[in-house]
Structure formats: structure tokens, C-alpha cells
């Protein structure tokens, strides 16, 4: 699904040049759950923004489903993003003036989906994510976990091929954070492709592959389907 080769991102001012990403290469297959880890400033959020076509690389190649996106017009990137990519943000990014239902519906309006189809999709995803009982509530009337569930529903309502999650549990307590991660794990089991940026080793344990970044480069990768079990056992010991 994703093929990235020698991707670099350079920020320039009059006196300073900062290399946020330096010759990064990565492939993500359909159905993978990839966690991207590293210290603050390592380039992982910049990398996620480029994956989501919210930012542009300075050089290299980024093919999304065999379509080269580097050098592509903003209009074309917007079309690819709206049709194929769902975003889950740390700060939820819900619109305060809209109800949960309206927040979830909004991407479908942008995509020109008919009102009858919008109603069907929104109701289906609210039931799936267990947020239907809050459909008429506003974001400020929800707990943090409920807000993130609404944000996940909004990301999924367009049936995206790729889900990008930026610190999805960063503003949640451990209980609500676990709920969100279990939800992402369920989506992965159902075949969703997920790329997640996180500082949390526990959250990364839900992924099928972990990519470690430092100083704008990928320095190691780890494959294991057993990591979540290991972290669950460690967590159980800590709270026993």
C-alpha cells in the first residue's frame, strides 16, 4: 500500500537548516498495524503528516497505492486524502459547535455523499464504536474517552484504506487509553491498515510492527505478534 524511498524533509531559515527527516525508507503493507516510536523531535510526527499528505517532503519518493505523491498538486493530494485516509488526533479535533453525530457526518459532506447514505453510515459507525447514545451531545459534554471514540468514528466513517493515529491515547487516563487501543486492535483484526505515532511502549505493543526513529532516521524495526501479551502480563503484575 505504501512505499517510501529516501524521503527527506528539510526546514530552512536564513541562517539555519534543519533536517527533520533524512533518507527514510519504509514499506507498509495492506492490513499492517505499524507503530512509530522515538523521542520528541525525532521526526515521527513530521513523517506521519507526510504519510497523511498534510505536509510535503523535500525529496525522495512516496507512493500511495502505486501513485507517486511527491510533486503532486495540492488538489490531487487533497482528493487522495479525503477518499483514502482517516485521521485520529491526540487532541480529538472535534468541532465544539457540532454534535457528535454532526462531527462524524462532516467528512461525508466534504466527500459529497448523499444525505440518506450519510445517515446510514453515521448510524452504523456510531453503533460499532459504541457512541450512539451520545449522538446528540456536544464534545464538551463528553469524557475524554468518549471524545476519542467520536474522533475514531469520524476517522472511520469514510471507510478509509489507511488510518493514521497521532498519540491517540496521549490525553487519556489509562482506562480510557486501553479502550481506544483495544478498539484499534479490533480494527486491525478486521483488516484495517494503521500507522500510529506514540511515546508509549505499552500502546506500541498492540502493533504488528514497531519502527523506531531517532534524529530523523529509522534505526531499527521490530516484528512480533506477542508484544501485547507481554505488556499485558507486565501491566497485570504492576497493578496486582
Q: What is the pLDDT along the chain (240 residues), one digit of tens a residue?
A: 999 999 999 998 888 889 999 999 999 999 999 999 999 889 999 999 999 999 999 999 999 999 999 999 999 999 999 999 999 988 899 999 999 999 999 999 999 999 999 999 999 999 988 899 999 999 999 999 999 999 999 999 999 999 999 999 988 888 888 988 998 999 999 999 999 999 999 999 999 999 999 999 999 999 865 455 544 544 444 433
Residue 90 is predicted with a pLDDT of: 86
Q: Supply 226's cell numbers.
A: 506477542
Residue 228 is predicted with a pLDDT of: 53
Residue 36's SS3 state is strand
Residue 172 is predicted with a pLDDT of: 86
Residue 224 is predicted with a pLDDT of: 62
Strand segments (E) across the chain: 2-12, 17-28, 33-37, 59-64, 67-68, 85-88, 162-166, 193-197, 209-214, 217-223
Just give the CATH number of 2-227: 3.40.50.300
Give the whole-angstrom CA distance, residue 73 versus residue 202. Answer: 38
Give the whole-angstrom CA distance, residue 63 versus residue 68. Answer: 4
Angle between helices 115-129 and 100-110 (to 10 degrees): 130
CA dihedral (39, 40, 43, 47) in degrees, to 10, reads: 100
Query: How is 38-58 classified by DSSP, letter by letter?
Result: --TTSSHHHHHHHHTTSS--S
Amino acid at each position: 500500500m505504501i512505499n517510501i524511498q529516501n524521503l527527506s524533509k528539510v526546514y530552512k531559515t536564513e541562517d539555519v537548516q534543519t533536517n527533520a527527516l533524512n533518507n527514510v525508507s519504509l514499506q507498509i503493507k495492506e492490513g499492517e498495524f505499524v507503530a512509530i516510536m522515538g523521542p520528541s523531535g525525532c521526526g515521527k510526527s513530521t513523517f506521519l503528516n507526510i504519510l497523511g499528505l498534510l505536509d510535503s517532503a523535500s525529496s525522495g519518493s512516496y507512493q500511495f497505492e502505486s501513485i507517486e505523491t511527491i510533486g503532486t498538486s495540492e488538489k490531487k493530494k487533497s482528493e487522495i486524502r479525503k477518499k483514502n485516509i482517516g485521521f485520529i488526533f491526540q487532541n480529538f479535533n472535534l468541532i465544539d459547535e457540532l454534535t457528535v453525530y454532526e462531527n462524524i457526518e462532516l467528512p461525508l459532506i466534504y466527500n459529497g455523499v448523499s444525505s440518506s447514505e450519510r445517515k446510514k453510515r453515521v448510524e452504523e459507525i456510531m453503533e460499532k464504536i459504541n457512541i450512539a447514545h451520545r449522538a446528540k451531545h456536544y464534545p464538551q459534554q463528553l469524557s475524554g474517552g468518549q471524545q476519542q471514540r467520536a474522533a475514531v468514528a469520524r476517522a472511520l466513517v469514510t471507510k478509509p484504506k489507511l488510518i493514521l493515529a497521532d498519540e491517540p491515547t496521549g490525553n487519556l487516563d489509562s482506562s480510557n487509553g486501553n479502550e481506544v487501543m483495544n478498539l484499534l486492535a479490533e480494527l486491525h483484526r478486521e483488516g484495517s491498515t494503521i500507522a500510529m505515532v506514540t511515546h508509549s511502549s505499552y500502546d506500541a505493543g498492540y502493533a504488528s510492527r514497531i519502527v523506531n526513529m531517532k534524529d530523523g532516521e529509522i534505526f531499527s524495526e521490530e516484528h512480533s505478534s506477542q508484544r501485547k501479551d507481554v505488556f499485558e502480563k507486565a501491566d497485570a503484575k504492576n497493578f496486582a
